[in-house]
Structure 1
Amino acid sequence: MPKNIGMIDQYVRIVLGLALVAFAFQDGLSVQGWHWAGLTGFVLLLTAFFRSCPAYSVLGISSRAAHRRSEAGRFEI
């Protein structure tokens, strides 16, 4: 799976994912009402961990910076 998530996008996904998971489990392990929607935070955490988003792949989007060539001729990531 190609990496298509940049560093800022990764940090935003981690923060939002943790916030959504905290919302889901704010009353303990019993997820009731709209709290189940907070479980989508796990998806954000997984995509941030692997730095690959299937939706980005389908749409051809990448928030990852392109590889640049430094003055010494080495590639920077």
Structure 2
Amino acid sequence: MKSNVGGIDKILRIVAGIALIAWALTGGPVWAWIGIVPLATGLMGWCPLYPLIGLSTCPLKKD
């Protein structure tokens, strides 16, 4: 898998994922467990949706 999540996108995914999971753990709605998805994609640096829509937030690497 080629990395397609970078920089600010990665940070926002991790923060949003942690916030949603914390909300679920403290009595929030069951759907808050969806925070696992942005947390995982932020930590992995790869989002399965991005290739389908032709998007990448990683900076271009020059050889």
Q: What's the TM-score once normalised by structure 1's chain length?
A: 0.74
RMSD: 1.3
| Percent identity for Structure 1 against Structure 2 | 35
Structure with the higher helix share, 1 or 2 = 2
Structure with the higher strand share, 1 or 2 = 1
How many residues were matched structurally?
Answer: 63
Moved over 3 A (4+): none
The correspondence of residues 1-77 of structure 1 with structure 2, limited to 5 A, is 1-27=1-27, 35-68=29-62, 75=63
Aligned partners of 1:49 and 1:16: how far apart in 2?
12
Structure (1 or 2) with the larger CA radius of gyration: 1
Higher relative contact order by CA 8 Å / sep ≥ 6: 1 or 2?
A: 2
* Structure 1 gap ranges (5+): 69-74
Cα deviation code 1:22-48 (max 9, x no counterpart): 111113xxx7xxx11111111111101
